[in-house]
Amino acid sequence: MKATLIDGKAIAAAVRADLADEVSQLQACGVTPGLAVILVGEDPASQVYVRNKTRASAEVGIHAEEFRLPADTSEAELLALVDELNAREDIDGILCQLPLPRPLDDAAVIAAIDPRKDVDAFSAVNVGHIMIGDYTFLPCTPAGVMELLHRSGVEVAGKRCVVIGRSNIVGKPMAMLLLHENGTVTICHSKTKELAAICREADILVAAVGRAKFVTADMVKDGAVVIDVGMNRDENGKLCGDVDFEAVGEIASQITPVPGGVGPMTIAMLLKNTVTAAKRRAEKL
């Protein structure tokens, strides 16, 4: 393979080591960062994500509390739990794993979380902060991508950046973060015409489509940096990203693998936001 691997696992471990030091300092001031993780229903992927988030929290010294609710939980019950957690002094961050089982409404729960505890940065207030470039809480997956770029020596300023995908969680905030670092950013989506030609112009290509091996070698410029946010199963049930890793790895200069690329970084940034929230609590003591 021609491309250098961007090792998200190792970079996330370095971020967690820095956070563990910060947590020790907070604990010396009598503050243990607290994260509440809410999981509604039995979705297997969500269960894995929640387990990984709780485990990573414990590793850096964050007190993570899991709240598992049955799939038939009513909106009133869920919002009552959020209210209770909003009021708890020892809880700095609240995360409700999405998507919620129907008919529960993701937006209603996001709106109910106190923006000062919204460590996913999903609330309208925090999305607004992101637009302005005032990062109280970082949007976890896009911030993880930026951290990978920084720690891999990739300069964004002046580069052509193409983001494939326009979700509120990844595509839109990703474009903002690249823009704030002076990239020239294009967002592509399912209605984009001549997608391959646009992608071929990218110095930095971020794939957040949710379709296995969607980005093929003919869509990538020689020497591009390729970041794969996807988490899919291929035809054999094997975990794979949005990028045809083998073929694109022969063209790109740097590439993230799946697993072991963006995934561990998303969790590291969640922990970072939780520590940020706890620092604010410590400042008020």
Q: Please, which residue, 57 or 266, has the CB nearer to ligand GUN?
A: 266
CA distances in angstroms from 283 to 26, 31, 90, 236, 275, listed in the order given: 10, 10, 14, 51, 12
Minimum distance of ligand GUN from residue 125's CB (angstroms): 16
Q: How far is the CB of 98 from ligand GUN (least distance, A)?
A: 4
The catalytic residue positions are 53, 97, 120
Each residue 90-129 as x (binds ligand GUN by CB under 6 A) or -, in order, gives -----xxxx---------------------x---------
3-state class of 97 per DSSP? coil
Residues in the chain: 285
Binding to ligand GUN (CB under 6 A): which residues in 157-176?
Answer: 169
Min. distance of Cβ 34 from ligand GUN in angstroms?
A: 16
Between 75 and 201, whose beta carbon lies closer to ligand GUN?
A: 75
The residue nearest ligand GUN at its CB is 98
| Residue 266 Cβ vs ligand GUN, minimum distance, rounded to whole Å | 6
- Tell me the site size for ligand GUN, rule CB under 6 A: 9
Calpha distance 85→90 (Å, rounded): 9
Nearest CB to ligand GUN, comparing residues 60 and 265: 265
Asked whether position 274 contacts ligand GUN by CB under 6 A, the answer is no
Q: Does 140 sit near ligand GUN (CB under 6 A)?
A: yes
How far apart are CB 269 and ligand GUN at their closest, in Å? 9
Nearer to ligand GUN, 96 or 185 (CB): 96
Interaction of residue 177 with ligand GUN, rule CB under 6 A: no
Q: How far apart are CA 91 and CA 85, in angstroms?
A: 7
Distances (CA, A) of 230 to 60, 198, 202, 233, 258: 26, 19, 18, 10, 8
Judged by CB under 6 A, the chain residues 222 through 251 that form the site for ligand GUN are none
With DSSP H G I counted as helix, E B as strand and the rest as coil, what are the percentages for the chain, rounded to 5? 45, 15, 40
196 in helix, strand or coil?
Answer: helix
Judge contact between 61 and 24, C-beta under 8 A: yes
From the list 252, 152, 138, the residue with the least C-alpha distance to 202 is 252
Please check whether residue 23 is in contact with residue 60, taking contact to mean a CB–CB distance below 8 angstroms. yes
Complex with ligand GUN: residue 37 or 248, whichever CB lies closer: 37
Binding site for ligand GUN (CB under 6 A): 95-98, 120, 140-141, 169, 266
